[in-house]
Structure 1
Amino acid sequence: MIDLAGWAERLGDLNLDLLFGVLTGLLLGFAGQRSTFCLRSAMVELSRGQARRRFAIWLLAFGAAILAVQAAALAGWFDSDAAQLMRQPGTLSGAAIGGLVFGVGMVMARGCSGRLLILASTGNLRSVTAGLIFALTVQATMFGTLAPARRLLAGLWTTGVEGNVDLLAATATGPLGGAILGVALIALAAFLARRHEVSVTTGTWALLTGVAAAVGWITTYALSQVAFEPITVESATFAAPSANLLMTLLSADAVRSFSLGLIPAVVVGAFLGALVGRELKWEGYGSAAQMLRSMSGGALMGFGGTLAGGCAIGAALSGTAIFTASAWLALLCFFLGAWAGDWIFDRRAAETHQQVRVQR
């Protein structure tokens, strides 16, 4: 048994919290890169009625996150009531509106926030640009010119309780019900993965991508039980941490925390994954129109993800794994937004282009 209290005393509570963020980020970055995990690709496949390879990979990670977190709860290693996402009031209007905006944005940027960070780590300059716009917009939405709009939209419809709504408690199913759902989702994902020739190696990395979200919850919860300093019980998310990291780099005023270690570690993990797979490659924009679309998508994701209370990782993986109502609503609206964005920017444009070719 790990003497966590002893490690906290030797290293310091905040340093250990930072280390847990690094460990979670390394796993998430490496596994996410090797598995090609991407919410945008999965949602586009689903919206077109073609739940294939990309959807199977995402569903493996999604099911693994749920199963790992709920199994930890059953074992007494985690309590969702202590999670920051569960303790703060949930905004359902924010989840719905922000989810729709985020969904459209990730189609325009051709990648969800998590995928952009991973691709940026492998030499994709398009993702670097869109990711920086994402981080700047998050900062503006949290504390800047867009903050009044966020507060207005978030206040339209809240959970009406002190904290968020725990769907497992509300349905009286508890962690066991959540674990059973996780097993069912993994079984469905495994069926789709086999049908669409997803390799065992890729599938394993997809499962570990989901496990990374559980690692964050479990480690920060365990530390919060023995630490003298107040420790936030949290897991992987890219919205708020990306803005905080950006401001830290600009001001050099670092506050040691899980989130501070997370994003740099994801970058390193994804880089190592691409290095192992020999997938490092410089890529840029092919046209000004492509650049404008990508940057606009990054801005929409920044505003939408902050308003929704989480991004493709924070809400759709970490948040859903602990069954907060706002996270599940955000996930639904991510899909609806992706469906709308795909129809507007890709499918309709392709149909118009095809019609023009036929007429010629």
Structure 2
Amino acid sequence: MFQMIVTGLLCGALLGFVMQRGRFCLTGGFRDMYIAKDYRMFYALLIAIAVQSIGVYTLIQFGAIEFVAGEFSWVATIIGSFIFGIGIVFAGGCATGTWYRAGEGLLGSWIALFGYMFMSAVMKSGVLVPVDQSMKSVKISTNSIAESTGISVWVYIVVFIAIVLWLIVRELKKPKIAIPTMKSKRTGLSHLLFEKRWHPFFTALLVGGIAILAWPLSEATGRMAGLGITTPSANILQFLVSGNQEYINWGVFLVLGIFLGSFTAAKGSREFRFRMPDVKTGISSFLGGNLMGFGASLAGGCSIGNGLVMTAMMTWQGWVSLLFIILGTWTASYFVFVRPKNKKNTVVSDTTVTA
């Protein structure tokens, strides 16, 4: 138990600290792809996937860890991921983003987090278990892309790395936009950790490294998986309600560590402060959190479990899920951001013509 607590909290704290300082927000990244045509955060995610893929499959090659891709519940993955994508827009952050933003004192994220934990628990051990099981019963026996095609996983990894490198080089060649910054009052390590703006690609390298570290640390405690947010989040609420210690595992301390790491980073950078949302935002956050919990549970993972980890493991579940999370985010972004703006512009234009 002591090992589980220490390594889980440590890994989570590192992830929370890095994500908070690097503003590693996949919700904003997916949204910006559609609205602003800004792909930097998406490219950052691809970097983290590539780093993790190399590291984890190297560990597997040397027998340090084990991984079984399992089956692919394609209907549940598609529907669940799309709903999850919609939910993260209303919640104002994905699963991990909600945890780390809660650590910054954003009370709207606390509301979203409760909705997320509640619905995840309902899906995993409550009245919606039959729905979850029924939709997951439609599946394909092989989830591994390599096993399905008969091509070595290393071929896919090498091709993927080549694509990512090409995208990075192309992005870095673009003209840089000057960002005004305040004169630093700190020097040395303190400045680098708490004041200097972290580049998303640098942040992605760190996230990928932490994702690799999660595998052996987690498996050492008997949990045969890497980073995961949805099930551990549900486990916290299930433990609090039932008192059953079987719900306590390495993943629970991972997500608690994310909160602590983010809090530390926010305090150190003077970004921590309690912010109360208005009623509309609070309702939206709770609704979004419930959609996140339902969708991630159904899909077998969130933007981290599927979008970062299962993609790195070169599974159908991971890449199909990532695609439909993005499509769900774009759909919600259209109705939340684009359509209202277009209506407002139309009204202003009509008023001008009438005048």
Rounded to whole Å, the distance in 2 between the matches of 1:19 and 1:322 is: 26
Change (3 A) 1:173 1:20: farther
The within-5 A match list for 1:233-244 is: 233-244=224-235
Cα drift, residue 347 of structure 1: 0.7
Q: Which amino acid aligns with 1:330?
A: S
Rounded to whole Å, the distance in 1 between the matches of 2:173 and 2:13 is: 27
Compare 240-249 and 118-127 and name the one that shifted more: 240-249
Any idea what SS the aligned residue of 1:262 has?
helix
Compare 190-199 and 271-280 and name the one that shifted more: 190-199
Q: Give 2:122's match in structure 1, choosing from 140, 147, 164.
A: 140
Aligned residues: 330
- Residue 89 of structure 2: aligned partner: 107
Rounded to whole Å, the distance in 2 between the matches of 1:33 and 1:193 is: 23
Matched, 1:281 2:281: no
The answer to whether the Cα contact below 8 Å between 1:214 and 1:318 also exists between their aligned partners in 2 is no
Cα drift, residue 75 of structure 1: 4.5
Rounded to whole Å, the distance in 1 between the matches of 2:163 and 2:94 is: 21
Matched, 1:257 2:249: yes
Matched, 1:34 2:21: yes
After superposition, give the CA deviation of every residue in 1:282-338 in whole Å (9 maximum; x if it has no partner): 22213x222222211111111000000001111111121112221221111101111
- Residue 185 of structure 2: aligned partner: none
Compare 167-176 and 261-270 and name the one that shifted more: 167-176
The within-5 A match list for 1:70-149 is: 70-81=57-68, 86-87=69-70, 89-149=71-131
5+ unaligned residues in a row in structure 1: which ranges?
Answer: 1-13, 225-230
- Residue 301 of structure 1: aligned partner: 292
After superposition, give the CA deviation of every residue in 1:241-291 in whole Å (9 maximum; x if it has no partner): 1010122234444345211211111111111122232211222213x2222
Compare 189-198 and 142-151 and name the one that shifted more: 189-198
The answer to whether the Cα contact below 8 Å between 1:15 and 1:257 also exists between their aligned partners in 2 is no
- Residue 146 of structure 2: aligned partner: 168
Rounded to whole Å, the distance in 2 between the matches of 1:23 and 1:321 is: 22
- Residue 158 of structure 2: aligned partner: 180
The answer to whether the Cα contact below 8 Å between 1:241 and 1:260 also exists between their aligned partners in 2 is yes
- Residue 270 of structure 1: aligned partner: 262
Any idea what SS the aligned residue of 1:80 has?
coil
Rounded to whole Å, the distance in 2 between the matches of 1:178 and 1:51 is: 26
- Residue 203 of structure 1: aligned partner: 201
The answer to whether the Cα contact below 8 Å between 1:220 and 1:233 also exists between their aligned partners in 2 is yes
Matched, 1:327 2:306: no
Identity of aligned residues (%): 25
Q: Which amino acid aligns with 1:24?
A: C
Compare 308-317 and 169-178 and name the one that shifted more: 169-178
Rounded to whole Å, the distance in 2 between the matches of 1:34 and 1:203 is: 13
TM-score, normalised on structure 2? 0.84
Change (3 A) 1:64 1:276: farther
- Residue 228 of structure 1: aligned partner: none
- Residue 314 of structure 1: aligned partner: 305
Rounded to whole Å, the distance in 2 between the matches of 1:15 and 1:257 is: 11
Rounded to whole Å, the distance in 2 between the matches of 1:177 and 1:307 is: 30
Cα drift, residue 154 of structure 1: 2.1
The answer to whether the Cα contact below 8 Å between 1:63 and 1:185 also exists between their aligned partners in 2 is no
Cα RMSD for the two superposed structures: 2.4
The answer to whether the Cα contact below 8 Å between 2:45 and 2:308 also exists between their aligned partners in 1 is no
